[in-house]
Amino acid sequence: MTVTLEPAIHGDRVSLLRVLGPAHVWALGVGIVLVGEFTGWNFAADKGGALAALIVCWVVGLLYTSVAMIDSEVTSTVAAAGGQYAQAKHIVGPLMAFNVALFLVFAYTMLEVSDAILLGDTIVAKAGVEGLTHNSFIAATIVVLAWLNYRGVLMTLNVNFVITAIAYISIVILFFSVSPWTQGAVLKLNELVTPGNALPYGWIGVIAAFQFGIWYYLGIEGTTQAAEEVRSPARSLPYGTMAGMITLLIAAAMTWYVCASMMPWEYLGITYYPLWDAGKLTGSPLLENLLFVATLLAALASANGCINDAARAWFSLGRDRYLPTWFSAVHPKYRTPYRSILFLLPIALAFAFIADLNQAITFSILSGVLQYTFMSINIIMFRKKWPLGSIRRGYTHPFHPIPAIVLFCLCVVTFFAIFLGFGSQLIAMVAFYFLISLWFHFYRYKFVRRGDQFTMPWPKPQGY
């Protein structure tokens, strides 16, 4: 069943424009995530070996398939800017919504930081000039993309569609250029991944690798942030999200196969540019330069989408008075949440200069996993409060509650994986969320208009 949902009503204020289609949704989701194939996923090899990186590629793929299924159902029904934030507001409550918005902002802002660092480091490595640092490239990337987002969502996502497609095609070209059907000429998987080194830490290394396995797909759920700017949310969001997930599963499998067949796992686990390195190791200048450009484009597309998503989550917090209403302004000409874009700009810049790549990635992953844990419980509550048939759903995901249970179990495993090597960082982050939740519940919530938090035309939830 397909229905077109009415835009959320927010008084007589200027609203966001409904201009996006399924291709933009695909570009937003894949654009944010594809950089994970160009850097980050390979740190899973560092934590558990090359085979562990492959195992988590597929198992974490299952986690994200669950995320995409769940997200498509809830978002095609709760079509409002803020994505999971709007879902939490209607299904769990204001405090959860406040936390979910912070998960989103942190996950995307730190992902943007990671992208900018990658871009800067890649250019510096290519230039090979003594004394050249990545700082100016990082600053230019973040500022120019913020300006692009300030100017309008349609232009932003049109740019994303083009550069994401080029980056994706480069992976396909690399894959077919190394004769994937033969071993020994270019690819040497049997000699690089041996029974003796496939799992150097044993099965605990596989569990530990879940942390960076998340990076293969982190951000695909960002498609929901565009819910209020999509022409037909019920059709475009599930279609764009699921198509994005299929695209990424294929890209992740090709990336692992090529990289694990060309580099020892110890090197693969520490390099910042596994695909570019693979391009270099082919000996073809054309492939090397193609993968260099594709690494830059993937980083740009991801940072671009992250600015888009983080700003919308922050904007939603202001609009609902969870944060000062100053953030809820929409630009009168460009119809973008410009104050939120500008507010998050210096925060991204600051962390791009003080964090290194795997630290920024870990910050992003932590917030992402907290959000997925929420999503697994959220869908159970959604089905309980509004059983099938009680409201019109744009899409109904199959096999409920199996995807929710799978998602929850994989989140628990991933928390344990983060504990193995990054436990202190996890405790510090959760302590922050706990303290800021106390601030919201006991102080900030008094500024929130209670009844206005529920804007969907649904009946009263069961049990209330």
Partner 1 sequence: MSRYTPPEQSKAGQIFDIVVVVVAIFVALWLPLKMGLAGAAKSIDALDAKTWEALGQNPTMASIWEKLGYTPETAHDIIQNRFHYVIDWPTLIIMAAVLIGYFVFLFRASDREYRDVINEKFDDK
Which residues between 102 and 131 bind partner 1 (CB under 8 A)?
A: 106, 110
Rounded to whole angstroms, how far apart are CA atoms 338 and 152?
9
Nearer to partner 1, 158 or 282 (CB): 282
Nearer to partner 1, 74 or 96 (CB): 96
Selected from 136, 179, 194, 390, the binder of partner 1 by CB under 8 A is 194
**Per CB under 8 A, which region of 62-70, 244-252, 393-401, 419-427 contacts partner 1?**
419-427
Closest CA to 4 of 84, 83, 76: 76
Q: Is 181 in the site for partner 1 (CB under 8 A)?
A: no
Selected from 14, 402, 428, 462, the binder of partner 1 by CB under 8 A is 428
Q: Is 431 in the site for partner 1 (CB under 8 A)?
A: yes
> What one-letter code names the amino acid at 317?
L
Q: Is 257 in the site for partner 1 (CB under 8 A)?
A: no
Rounded to whole angstroms, how far apart are CA atoms 368 and 219?
8
Q: Is 285 in the site for partner 1 (CB under 8 A)?
A: no
How many CB atoms sit inside 10 A of residue 439's CB?
11
Q: Is 368 in the site for partner 1 (CB under 8 A)?
A: no
Selected from 224, 362, 371, 414, the binder of partner 1 by CB under 8 A is 362
Q: Is 380 in the site for partner 1 (CB under 8 A)?
A: no
Q: What share of the chain is helix, strand, coil (3-state, %, to 5)?
A: 70, 0, 25
Selected from 355, 380, 391, 405, the binder of partner 1 by CB under 8 A is 355
Q: Is 185 in the site for partner 1 (CB under 8 A)?
A: no
Q: Which residue has the tokens 């390099």?
A: 271
Selected from 2, 133, 183, 325, the binder of partner 1 by CB under 8 A is 325
Nearer to partner 1, 334 or 445 (CB): 445
**Per CB under 8 A, which region of 52-60, 133-141, 399-407, 420-428 contacts partner 1?**
420-428
Restricting to residues 326-345, name those near partner 1 by CB under 8 A: 326
Measured over the CA atoms of residue 76, residue 225, residue 96 and residue 427, the dihedral's sign is positive
Class of residue 204 by CB neighbours under 10 A (exposed 0-12, middle 13-18, buried 19+): middle
**Shortest distance in whole angstroms from residue 231 CB to partner 1:** 28
CA 357 to chain centre: 16
Q: Is 107 helix (H, G, I), strand (E, B) or coil?
A: helix
Dihedral of CA atoms 48, 51, 52, 54 in degrees, nearest 10, equals: 140
Q: Is 391 in the site for partner 1 (CB under 8 A)?
A: no
Token pair for residue 400?
A: 């409920």
**Per CB under 8 A, which region of 118-126, 164-172, 294-302, 425-433 contacts partner 1?**
425-433
CA 435 to chain centre: 25
**Shortest distance in whole angstroms from residue 107 CB to partner 1:** 12
Nearer to partner 1, 52 or 163 (CB): 52
Q: Is 444 in the site for partner 1 (CB under 8 A)?
A: yes
Selected from 75, 373, 376, 414, the binder of partner 1 by CB under 8 A is 373
Nearer to partner 1, 96 or 148 (CB): 96
Q: Is 270 in the site for partner 1 (CB under 8 A)?
A: yes
What residues does 230 pair with on adjacent strands? Answer: 20
How many CB atoms sit inside 10 A of residue 442's CB?
9
Nearer to partner 1, 285 or 423 (CB): 423
Rounded alpha-carbon distances, angstroms, from residue 109 to 47, 81, 260: 24, 17, 30
Q: Is 435 in the site for partner 1 (CB under 8 A)?
A: yes
**Shortest distance in whole angstroms from residue 86 CB to partner 1:** 13
**Per CB under 8 A, which region of 158-166, 219-227, 304-312, 412-420 contacts partner 1?**
412-420
How many CB atoms sit inside 10 A of residue 198's CB?
17
What residues does 12 pair with on adjacent strands? Answer: 10
Rounded to whole angstroms, how far apart are CA atoms 432 and 113?
20
How many CB atoms sit inside 10 A of residue 381's CB?
18
Nearer to partner 1, 53 or 251 (CB): 53
Q: Is 178 in the site for partner 1 (CB under 8 A)?
A: no
Selected from 329, 377, 391, 405, the binder of partner 1 by CB under 8 A is 377
Closest CA to 319 of 311, 5, 367: 311
Rounded to whole angstroms, how far apart are CA atoms 440 and 438?
5
Contact 18, 7 (CB under 8 A): yes
**Shortest distance in whole angstroms from residue 3 CB to partner 1:** 22
Nearer to partner 1, 289 or 453 (CB): 453
Q: Is 356 in the site for partner 1 (CB under 8 A)?
A: yes
Nearer to partner 1, 153 or 417 (CB): 417
Q: Which residue has the tokens 């983080």?
A: 310
